[in-house]
Amino acid sequence: MATNKVIILDIDGTLGCLISQHPSQITKNMEMSRVHHIQSSSFFVTRSFCEWFLEFCRYFFARVVVFSAGHRDYVENVVTSIFPYSPDAVFSFEDLNANQLKTVDVVRDEIPFAFSHNTIILEDNPSAWAPYNKENIIKLPECRFVGASSLEQEDYTFPNLRRWLMEEIYRSVDVRREIAAVSSFPSTYGDTLMSLATVDGKTIFFRDFNIRENKSKILASHWTEQGLLEKSYHLPTSVENIEDCRSFRFRGRTFLIGNNTRRMHIVDIENKSSCYLLKSPFPQRSVEKNWTPLVTDNQQRLLLVYSFDPLLVFQVTDLEKGRCDPYIGFVSNSSSHKECKLRGGTPFLPYQNNENVFVSVAHRQERGYCVSYRGYWAFLDLRSGSVQSSGAPIQIGQFLIVYPTSLFLGSDGKSWLGGHIDDEFCFLTDDISTPSV
Within 8 A by CB and 6+ apart from 180, the residues are 135
Cβ neighbours of 241 (radius 10 Å): 14
Ramachandran area for residue 379 (φ above 0: left; ψ -120 to 50: alpha; else beta): beta
Least confident piece of the model among 191-200, 220-229, 331-340, 403-412: 331-340
Peptide linkage before 310 cis (omega within 30 of 0): yes
Residue 180 has pLDDT above 70, yes or no: yes
Ramachandran area for residue 328 (φ above 0: left; ψ -120 to 50: alpha; else beta): beta
* Distance in angstroms (rounded) separating the CA atoms of residues 323 and 280: 8
Residue 173 has pLDDT above 80, yes or no: yes
Residue 334 has pLDDT above 50, yes or no: no
* Distance in angstroms (rounded) separating the CA atoms of residues 320 and 315: 13
**pLDDT band per the 50, 70, 90 thresholds, residue 271:** confident
CATH architecture of 6-181: 3-Layer(aba) Sandwich (3.40)
For residue 366, what is the enclosing H or E element? strand 354-367
pLDDT in tens, 111-135: 999 999 999 999 999 999 999 999 9
Residue 170 has pLDDT above 80, yes or no: yes
Instruction: For the chain, give the longest Cα–Cα distance.
Output: 76
The reported pLDDT for the residue numbered 373 is 77
8 Å CB contact between 265 and 277:
yes
* Distance in angstroms (rounded) separating the CA atoms of residues 359 and 380: 6
CB burial of 22-40 (b: ≥16 within 10 Å; e: otherwise) equals: ebeeeeeebeeebbbebee
pLDDT in tens, 90-115: 999 999 999 999 999 999 999 999 99
Give this prediction's pTM: 0.57
Least confident piece of the model among 266-270, 326-330, 349-353, 423-427: 423-427
Ramachandran area for residue 267 (φ above 0: left; ψ -120 to 50: alpha; else beta): beta
- 160-167 mean pLDDT: 86
What does R_g of the chain's alpha carbons equal in angstroms?
A: 24
Within 8 A by CB and 6+ apart from 262, the residues are 284, 286, 289
Phi, psi (degrees; rounded to nearest 5) at 239: -115, 130
DSSP-assigned letters across all residues of 117-177:
TTEEEEES-GGGB-GGGGGGEEEPPPP---S-HHHHHT--HHHHHHHHIIIIITT-S-HHH
